[in-house]
Amino acid sequence: MEAYALTEAVYYILLSLTTPMHGYGIMQNVHALSNGRLNLAAGTLYGALTTLLEKGLIQSSGLEDARKKEYCITDSGKKTLEQEIIRLNELLENGRKIMGAKK
Amino acid sequence: MKYNAYKFFTIGQYEKEEKWLNEMSAKGMQLTDVGFCRYSFVKGTPGEYIYRLELLEHMPGNAESVSYISFLEETGIEQVGSILRWIYLRKKASDGPFELYSDTESKINHYKRILFIADIMSIALLFSFLPNLTRLIFKIIELVKMYGSFDSFFMRQLNPHAGFTIFYFALIAFLQLVVLPIRKSKFKLIKEKTVHE
């Protein structure tokens, strides 16, 4: 189980892959999810996908050609995502509580 | 109609090289092929493409690199050429900004890959030169024993050995100087990473 915080890119990649997607699809989806704030660069995305595959958080359809390769989140990936949402919630709640009280 | 330009950039200047290629693109000169110190341009629409350089982990023909490059192609990136492990990439400017890395970590990794080349070469030079350094030290001991002082005759005896040492050290210093801007950028990003992702 992931014990550390996910990077912003990894968080959005995992979230995107709850629906199977190609590499380019992930870039577009992350862009749309973040209202255009986040532009995942291809080199960074490829590196992240390779690492996530190695860690078993995502899987790819067996096609050798990277152009046709589709990626999908695994059960382990989903668990990681759920844990991260709990962690992010804690951050957000504390932030709102403390900063809200100061206003 | 092809226009050739001849220019030399060190690996420490690859960002400067990128900048130059993008300036050429702004003038309507689009890079279509590269060779050692040679850049081939075709006249096209000014600012049509944005160019980026990347040092791959493997040679471009390697299966991993092929898979990576075809992944890039899927996102609208085109490979213009390559020199050893360096690839020259471009993307239509109309697609929006073109960067290869969007987080600090992957930028640092790319810098590390470049620095690794310079460091391996420096270490190889240092090792190939160790026997000479040992010989130089023995020569000094021998001469000191023989003459007991650093007079001019002593220095004349030592000169050829010392010259060789200086040459090797200068070579290593040059190599490290070439990648110094990359090292500085890397440290800046590492510092940045303690606060921001």
- Tens of pLDDT along B117-147? 999 999 998 888 888 778 878 878 887 777 7
User: Which one-letter amino acid corresponds to residue B130?
Assistant: L
- ipTM score of the complex? 0.85
Helix axes B180-193, B104-147, angle to 10 degrees: 130
CA atoms of B17 and B29, how far apart (whole Å): 14
CA atoms of B35 and A80, how far apart (whole Å): 46
| pLDDT category of residue A1 using cuts at 50, 70 and 90 | very low
Is the Cβ of A24 closer than 8 Å to some Cβ of chain B?
yes
User: What is the tens place of the pLDDT at every residue in A18-72?
Assistant: 999 999 999 999 999 999 999 999 999 999 999 999 999 999 986 666 557 899 9
B148 or A43: whose pLDDT is higher? A43
Cβ B90 vs Cβ B51: under 8 Å: yes
Note whether A67 contacts B54, CB cutoff 8 Å. Answer: no
Residue B107 DSSP SS3: helix
* Facing A66 at nearest CB: one of B54, B71, B76: B71
What is the pLDDT averaged over residues B74-78? Answer: 93
CA atoms of A71 and A29, how far apart (whole Å): 13
CA atoms of A23 and A45, how far apart (whole Å): 8
State chain B's mean pLDDT as an integer.
Answer: 90
Mark which residues 47-86 of B lie under 8 Å from A by CB. 54, 67-68, 70-77
Give chain B's largest Cα–Cα span. Answer: 76
Note whether A39 contacts B68, CB cutoff 8 Å. Answer: no
Half-sphere exposure of A34 (CA within 13 A, CB side): 17
CA atoms of B145 and B92, how far apart (whole Å): 71
Note whether B102 contacts A44, CB cutoff 8 Å. Answer: yes
User: Which one-letter amino acid corresponds to residue B167?
Assistant: F
Name the DSSP letter for residue A67.
T
Task: At A85, give phi and psi (nearest 5°).
Answer: -65, -40
